[in-house]
Amino acid sequence: MKKIAVVTGAAGGMGRAIVAQLLEDGMLVCGLDVDRAGLDDLAQDDRFTGIVTDLTDGAATNAAFARIEAAHGGVDALVNNAGTCLMSEFPDIPEAEFEKQMALNFSGAFHCCQAAVKQMMGRAGVRKIVNISSNGAYNFDAFDPPHYRASKAALDTLTKDLARRYATDKIAVNSIAPAMTETPLFGVVSKEVLDKAIAQMPHGRAMQPSEIAAWVGFLISPAGDISSGNVIILNQGRDVR
Ligand SMILES: NC(=O)c1ccc[n+]([C@@H]2O[C@H](COP(=O)([O-])OP(=O)(O)OC[C@H]3O[C@@H](n4cnc5c(N)ncnc54)[C@H](O)[C@@H]3O)[C@@H](O)[C@H]2O)c1
């Protein structure tokens, strides 16, 4: 029987690559996103189901997971990928922007974990949660603003808590924390800032979404069964001192 994966932010740059990887790996994929057109596009593949969901709305998120349970009986893997980087400067970050940043990058993932863990219980094999964090939580030279960094640091602490909490239930929870990866999110900064950040990458280029997706696929595959509670930083070795 095919395994069921849920990917949030499925219609975005990283999300599409993760969906493609998991389909290639033989899973059925449910994608949650606010981008209806993007989900419809992905649904041309009948192994993919899109559910339009605003992940900052806990009730809507629970309703999406209820639909997944009704259709598939549960979940084997969850990739919390939806996220954004809002760029106002400290100390003038508007309260609404702060709340929005945390609501999507942290609270949305938190609610998905709560819903998914219940549906993972009792299923075969090692079930997986992969949280897409950011190198920005650990590198303080790059341009990332503090509310973005903090949202990802909170996500990584959730990774560790859940890894410990569910180890004997065989639910493995890891974070992947990429640096510069070429997606539409690059649009949040000017070309000048972007070029400088890409020039600091040791390979002289940004990473591609498919390169990050390959690591997600590895963690979700049986080869990834023995990793839990890790934050895997992908940055071509940029920050090694
Ligand atoms: N691109 C990078 O360089 C980079 C680096 C480190 C981490 N990340 C992380 O990777 C993840 C994916 O980002 P990306 O680069 O693919 O960006 P992206 O903007 O291409 O994709 C984000 C997706 O999230 C969806 N989304 C936004 N708000 C939503 C909401 N309220 N509910 C549901 N879906 C919503 C968008 O519609 C979009 O499809 C994010 O968590 C981001 O923080 C990206």
CA of 85 to the centre of ligand 1 (A): 8
Q: Which positions ≥6 away from 81 have C-beta within 8 Å?
A: 7, 8, 9, 10, 12, 14, 15, 18, 132
CB-neighbour burial class of residue 41 (10 A; exposed 0-12, middle 13-18, buried 19+): middle
CA of 38 to the centre of ligand 1 (A): 13
Listing DSSP states for 83-145 in one string gives -----PPTT---HHHHHHHHIIIIIIHHHHHHHHHHHHTT-SS-EEEEEE--GGGT-SSS---
Q: Could you list the pLDDT tens digit for every one of the 241 residues in the chain?
A: 899 999 999 999 999 999 999 999 999 999 999 999 999 999 999 999 999 999 999 999 999 999 999 999 999 999 999 999 999 999 999 999 999 999 999 999 999 999 999 999 999 999 999 999 999 999 999 899 999 999 999 999 999 999 999 999 999 999 999 999 999 999 999 999 999 999 999 999 999 999 999 999 999 999 999 999 999 999 999 999 8
Residues with CB under 6 A from ligand 1: 9, 11-15, 33-35, 38, 53-56, 81-85, 104, 132, 134, 178, 180-181, 183-185
Q: Which domains does the chain have, with CATH numbers?
A: 4-232 (3.40.50.720)
pLDDT at 49: 98
pLDDT at 132: 98
Ligand 1, pocket-test mutation among 34, 52, 78, 233, most atoms within 8 A of CB:
34
